[in-house]
């Protein structure tokens, strides 16, 4: 049982780190794009929010998989 808890914690932690890195990359590239073409700010921000939402799905899925491994 204790190995399952450790596995779930590691999976959730690594997913959170990966999502943090991904969010940072998406936001930095958006700021870069807005700096190059300020007239596309609205379009770039919309795409950034969609990208961040997709990146944030990873830790949510990891938490669900962690809970599933605990109940086995």
pTM beyond 0.85: the answer is no
**pLDDT (0 to 100) of residue 5:** 86
Can you tell me the distance from the alpha carbon of 51 to that of 32, in angstroms, rounded to the nearest whole number?
A: 15
Q: How many CB atoms lie within 10 A of CB 10?
A: 12
Average pLDDT taken over every residue of the chain: 92
- Mark residue 49 as left, alpha or beta (left: phi above 0; alpha: psi -120 to 50; beta: remaining): alpha
Can you tell me the distance from the alpha carbon of 59 to that of 63, in angstroms, rounded to the nearest whole number?
A: 6
**pLDDT (0 to 100) of residue 1:** 65
């Amino acid at each position: 049982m204790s190995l399952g808890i450790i596995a779930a914690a590691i999976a959730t932690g690594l997913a959170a780190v990966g999502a943090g890195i991904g969010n940072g990359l998406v936001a930095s590239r958006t700021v870069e794009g807005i700096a190059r073409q300020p007239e596309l700010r609205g379009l770039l921000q919309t795409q950034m929010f969609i990208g961040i939402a997709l990146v944030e799905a990873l830790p949510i899925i990891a938490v669900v998989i962690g809970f599933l491994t605990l109940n086995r």
